[in-house]
Every structure is written in structure tokens, then in C-alpha cells.
A and B are shown apart, each in its own frame.
Chain A
Amino acid sequence: MSQMQEKSCPIIANHIKIALVGQPNVGKSMLINSVSNAHLHVGNFSGVTVDKTEVLFDYKDYHFTVVDLPGTYAFTDYTIEERVTHDYLCAESYDMIINVVDSTNLEKNLQLTSELMSMSKSMVIALNMSDEADKEGIDLNASYMSELLGIPCVKVSAVTKIGIEELLDAVVSVREKESQESKLIFSEPVEEEIAQIVWYLDKHRYEAKNSYRNIAINLLKNNKKTYAKLHDDPVWTELQPILIEALKHVELHHDSDDIKESFAEEYASFNRGIVAEVLKQETVDEKKTLTEKIDNILIHPFLGIPIFLFFMWALFQLTFEIGSIPMDWIDAFFGWFGDTVGATIPNDDVRSLVVDGIIAGVGAVILFVPNIIILFIGIALLESTGYMSRVAFLLDGFFHKFGMHGQSFIPLVTGFGCSIPAYMSARILKNDRDRLLTLFIIGFMSCGARLPVYVLFAGAFFSPEMAGNILFAIYIGGAMIGLIAAKVLKLTAFKGADEPFVMEMPKYRLPSVKLIWHTVLTKTMMYLKKAGTFIAAASMLIWFLSNYPHNLMIEEEYATKIEMAVSEEAKTTLVNEQAVAHLEQSYLGSIGKFSEPIFAPLGFDWKMSVALQTGLAAKEVVVSTLGVLYALGDEVDEENSSLVNAISKNISFASAVAFIVVIMIYLPCLAASIVFTREAGGIKYFFYLFAFTSIVAYALSFIAYNIALLFT
């Protein structure tokens, strides 16, 4: 027993907490998978939108905690990832940094390394992708590099799992040794000034935890914390003039008034020196790399966009063709499951709550899981191969005209399938403002669940030949309104300078099955868990509102009538009539009656008002609500011809147009709204979205209604 405890709860002294840092696309996630081998424990603690992953495992006598931080090019706060990483490295407590570096692109990667080196933390460098470097004829001398930098450098390959143990050994030995000052060397003028400040600090025997050299560098770099510390010390009065002179000298040397730029140049020349020393590459052949060859086709000025459109078309075909196969099974399963469970519950109300409320509602959510999985696999493929960046490159020009970013395209197209994955995929947008704007626009892309409503109304008011064109017009119309809305929002709510578009075009890579499986699994589970629980609750609420209060008078009246009915047909009509009478006096009916005046200018009766409001839970519900309200019983779908007849009889053409416009624009379903709120980062954004979509929907619907009135 005590042995067991020792194993699962090791002594604190043997604990090593590691921050895993590296630029994007250096294979950090792959490395963490290879290091920990078998996912001993993977815990996700998510920030606003970016997740850092923590992995725990044991090696030798040590208990390791590795925190996988989002990829970052430099120590800035430009993107969410960079902010998360920067904040973590500066504020959290950890023992050591493992800096993952792409061996095939050493010089660029060292830019981040040199910034990390000036943090005076223990560090180990993992020279990842060493197998690829070998293939490219890159000869990297790791031991010489360790010597030059004063930091252990270990060649590893996350793919072939080479060097993983050596890396962990290096971590252990760094932990056991005294920490070593890193050997960052600057240009002569900067070194002179550092020496000057160090000499001054030494003369005054200034007490500090960090080395004088480190303090001097941080002062020259305008590090706020170092300034704050020294500012309260008596040495400051004499130090300040020295520092001003020093900064002037550095600025003069670099011909720039931006000290950050000067230091970046310092680092770059240091790195060039390191690379020249440790790296030998066989003469570079002028042959084009594979990536360049592929790019010649995929981002071709004329062919690029058609190829991309083909890929998207194929993805959507797959999503809906293959996705619809298991959908039927899931549907059948929940039907059977509802009946089976229902049979075991004697109480009518409880059975109705469980079967018609919870099981039906949750089933409706699970129904879309196959589509979502396929869509996620497709998006993960596009992302991990590096194609997504090419798409952004191709489309940025067009989207920029509407105030959006090239990368907005993916979430918007996904929105035609379902808004939920669309909101989640908006995470690929790095900039907060761009992401928020895209989140607000996604709802304009009519999702699959709205299709039944469109089919129903197009069928009721247009000939079968025209209906298809009308459907197409509705979808395109929605997208056009969305783009215009984006432009309007950009000019008003999201006003401000255009965010720059500077983006890496990564090498093409074959996707890793393991990584894609992992991403898709986590995302799908998240969808099931979050949307599932909320949908269940919402279904119960709608069920309750449409079933209560019970009116005994109506029940008794119809019970006798049904008993006296002669034919089966008459009975069905009576049952439907009872349902309508019941619904009319239910809470939902009262809400519909209450809100009728609001929708009167759009030509809606109370039934249409109710249908719109139940549609807030899920758009599919609009059709079934209309079906119930126009007294056809519960079993209705968009192909039910009698519902089509009822609608063309009861609803005027103008009201129908207005209704379609509202369905196109107003708030997405409850589950989507919840995901939106989470992705946008606050409940206030939900209210903004609600206000924005409601106002636009109401205004455009009003205009459409009055125009349609002119024509009829």
C-alpha cells in the first residue's frame, strides 16, 4: 500500500516542471506524445480560446510535468497563442524550459531561443526533426552548439523517436547541476555598454538574484520589471545618466530609434554566427523542393481558386453523403430507444418528459455527430497538411474588401453545414477582432437545419421547377447579406486599422493519423458534452412550455368527442384539434399570443411567431411546430404535402417571404448560441449577437414584406 502511494505521489523534491516552448510547426505536440509515450495523463486546461496541455510521466527518479505551450514566433503579444505563452513564461513557476527547434530551419528558430536565453532560466534545446535534416544533407554539430550557447542541445526526432531518452537525461543533468549563465554575445558597442553597467553595479555592490550581466541586458532592452526594481534603489540616480548614454550609443549604432528592433538585429547576427559555426550543409542544389512544386499548382494565380473550390465541394459532398448513412441508423436507434424506455415508465407525464423531451432532444443533437466528425476530419486534414495557409493566401484579397481576413473563409463555409463547428473553427483566426467579426457573420451562412424550412416554403409558393432556384437564391442571398453585414460591422463596431496579414506558409506535410484522431476525438467529445447537456435542458424546457398548464376541460371535452367519433379519420382530426386547443392555452401558446403584436408588422400570425421562437432551440423545430399548429399531428416533415397545402392556404405570400428572411438571419439555435458565447469569450457577446441579428432580421423582413405586398 505504502509503495503504491510512493509511486503515484512522488516526493516534491524530485518533481521537474517543464515549459515546452517553440515556434509554430516545429513538431512540439508530436514530441510531447513521443516523450510521454502512452498518455499517462493528459489534462486540458483551456484559456479563452487556446489550450495548453499538461502531460505527467515518470522518468528515472523524477516525476515530470510538461506544459505544452502554444507555438510562438517571438516574445510578443500579437496573437492569442503568443500572449498565453508569454504570460506563462513570465508569471508562472516552472523549473526549466525545453525549447523545441526545427533543425531544418535553425537560424529562424534560434530567434526565439535567443530571447528565451535572456530570461535566465534553465534551458535545454531539443533539435527536433533531425531525421529530416539528415535527409536534406544538413550536418549539425550538437555538442559544439551546446558549448557555444552554454545550453545542452540534443538531437531528437519526434517521428522516429530518436534521442528522446538523451533529451530527458539532459533535463535531469541540468536539474542536478548548478545553473549556468548562457553565452549570448552581442556586438561590440552593446557589449561595451553592458560592461559599463556591470562595472557600475559591481562598484556599488548592488544586491540582486540575477547576474549583473543579465540586469544590464534587461535594462538595455527596456524591460519594465527590471526598471521598476532598480527605480526604487539609491543607485538609480547615478545609473540613469549612464543608461541614457548607453541607449543613445546603441541606437546610433543600429540607426534606429526602436530598441526592440536593435536587439532583434543583435540576436539575428549572433544566430547567424552560431549557425555558421555548427551547421554544415552539402551544396544546396537548385532543384525545387517538393513544397515549391506543389505550391506552383495549388496557389497558381488562375488555377488556385478553382482547385480550392473543388476541394470544398468534395468535402461537403462527403460530409452530407457519407454523413447521412449513419444518420438513419441513429434516428432509428433513438426511436426504438424512446419506445423501449417509454414502455417501462407507467406515469404519462414522466414518460412524455423522458421520451418526447429528453430522448428526442438529445437524439436530435447526436444525429449530427457523423457530419461533424467528417467535417472535423476534413478541416484537420486541411490544417495539418499546411493547405489552409494557402487558402488564406488566395482569398485574402477578396475577403479584405469586406473587412475580413483570408482565414475567415473556412469558418464561413463550415457554417453552411452547421454553425457549431463553424464557431469552433474560427479559432484559426489569430487576431481577436477578426475572429469576433467572423463569429458574428457565421450565422448568415444558412446551416443545414434551416433547409427543411426553406424546402417547405419554397414548395408551398413556387412550382417544383422554380423551387430549386429559390433555394439556391436563399443560400446565396444569405451569404451576400453576411458579407455586407461584415462590411457594416467593420465600419462601425469593429472599426479600427486593418489588421496586418503576415503569415507563415508552412511546408507541406503528410498528416499524422494519430494527431488527427486526437484532435477530432477531443472536438467531438466537446460537442457531445457541451451541446448535449444544454440541448437536453432546452428540450425539457420546450416540452414543459408546450405541455403545461393542463386544461382538464379541454381534455374531458375531447375525450368524450373522440369516443363518440365514428370513423378513424374523424378520430385523427379530433386528436389533432385537441393538440391545437391544448397548445393554444399552453405557456408556449400564451407566449405566441403575447408576442403576436411585435410580429404583426411582418404579417405573422401567432402560430408563426411561436414557430420562430421554438426555432431558437433548434431550427428543425420550426417545421414540426408549424405542423402541430396547423393541426396535422406531430408526424410532419418538409415533404408532407398536406402541410404544404395548409401553409399556402393559411399564409400569404408576403408573410411567407418575410418569414423566410427572418429564418435566414435571426439567432442560430440554442446549442450554437452557447458555443458562440464560449468562443467569443463572454455572455455580453451573446447579447450583442442577439440584438444585431434581431434588428437586421426584423428590418430586412419588414422591407421584404412590404415589397412582396406590392407585387401581390
Chain B
Amino acid sequence: MKTLKDCNKACKVKVIKLHASTDLKQRLISFGIMKESVIEVLEHAPAKSTIEVKVGKMRIALRAQEAELIEVKKI
């Protein structure tokens, strides 16, 4: 299973499934991260602990732990 955590910089992916708990899932959805949405990886923080991604026109920062719960496929 490929997750958002495994993606490199400038990589574009499509979300297949969210494996997060209900609360976090709601949070991700409210930021536009849901099935079928397209995510572009913009930047990694030092040690890859945090990732900056772009969903639609919005830039979002999330931790590697959270990114691991987002199943994606390359497009």
C-alpha cells in the first residue's frame, strides 16, 4: 500500500482511501483531503517529520504519521 508519506517532493497523487480515525478523517475531509482528490507534495520539513502538500488551491501541513494514513496512487 502506497501512502502519502512515501511520496517525494513534486509528486502528484490521487487519494484512494483514508485510513484515519473518525475525528481525523473529518478533519482531513474539511481540508479537502478525501477520496478522489488530487494531492501534490510541495515540501518536507527537516528529517521529513512534516509534509507540506497542495490540495486544490490550498496548502496544508501534516505530520508524517498522519500522511501514513492516506492511501494514494500515482497519477
Contacts and interface: CB of A to CB of B under 8 A. Distances in A.
B66 A502 contact: yes
Nearest to A401: B49
Given A299-B43, A299-B52, A396-B45, A105 B58 contact: yes
B11 interface: no
A393 B45 contact: yes
A551 to B, nearest CB: 64
Nearest to B35: A265
A276 interface: no
22 contacts: A73-B31, A78-B27, A105-B56, A108-B32, A108-B57, A111-B32, A261-B18, A261-B34, A264-B34, A265-B36, A268-B36, A295-B42, A295-B59, A299-B52, A301-B46, A302-B46, A389-B61, A394-B45, A498-B65, A500-B62, A500-B65, A504-B61
Given A299-B43, A505-B61, A264 B49 contact: no
A400 interface: yes
Interface residues of chain A: helix, strand, loop or mixed (majority): helix
A502 B31 contact: yes
Given A268-B34, A501-B62, A301 B26 contact: no
A580 interface: no
Contact of B29 (A264, A302, A500): A264
Contacts, number: 121
Contacts of A394: 45-46, 50
Given A500-B63, A502-B62, A505-B59, A78 B43 contact: no
Give the top 3 A-B pairs by smallest Cβ distance, nearest first. Answer: A397-B49, A74-B30, A505-B59
Interface in B17-40: 18, 20, 22-32, 34-37
B60 A505 contact: yes
B73 interface: no
B62 A74 contact: no
Contacts of B29: 74, 260-261, 264
B46 to A, nearest CB: 5
Most buried by A among B20, B49, B52, B65: B49
A392 interface: yes
Interface residues of B, number: 37
Contacts of B57: 104-105, 107-108
B30 to A, nearest CB: 3
B1 interface: no
Contacts of A233: none
B61 A502 contact: yes
A71 B22 CA distance: 22
B44 interface: yes
A522 B35 CA distance: 43
Given A111-B30, A261-B34, A501-B50, 19 more contacts: A74-B29, A104-B57, A256-B35, A260-B25, A260-B26, A292-B42, A295-B59, A301-B44, A301-B45, A304-B45, A394-B46, A396-B50, A396-B63, A397-B49, A501-B61, A501-B66, A502-B60, A502-B62, A504-B31
Nearest to A497: B21
B61 A392 contact: yes
A78 B29 CA distance: 12
Contacts of B36: 265, 268
B47 interface: yes
A406 interface: yes
A76 interface: yes
B56 to A, nearest CB: 5
Contacts of B65: 498, 500
Contacts of B60: 502-505
A273 B42 CA distance: 27
A505 B45 contact: no
Contacts of A392: 61
A393 B63 contact: no
Contacts of B31: 73, 502, 504
Most buried by B among A73, A111, A302, A502: A502
Interface string A301-324: 110110000000000000000000
A498 B26 CA distance: 16
Contacts of B42: 292, 295
Contact of B52 (A264, A406, A505): A505
Contacts of B46: 301-302, 304-305, 394, 397
A265 B56 CA distance: 15
A396 B65 CA distance: 12
Given A305-B46, A393-B61, A502 B27 contact: yes
A237 to B, nearest CB: 30
Nearest to B25: A261
A393 B49 CA distance: 9
Nearest to B67: A502
Interface in A499-555: 500-506
Given A393-B50, A400-B49, A503 B62 contact: yes
A504 B59 contact: yes
A108 B56 contact: yes
Nearest to B26: A76
A504 B58 CA distance: 7
B50 to A, nearest CB: 5
A502 B28 CA distance: 7
A224 to B, nearest CB: 15
Contacts of B30: 73-74, 76, 78, 111
Interface string A96-127: 00000000110110010000000000000000
Contact of B22 (A111, A258, A498, A500): A258
Nearest to A76: B26
A617 B55 CA distance: 51
Interface in A72-97: 73-74, 76, 78
B50 A406 contact: yes
Interface string A677-692: 0000000000000000
Contacts of B24: 500, 502
A502 B51 CA distance: 10
A323 B32 CA distance: 44
B13 to A, nearest CB: 17
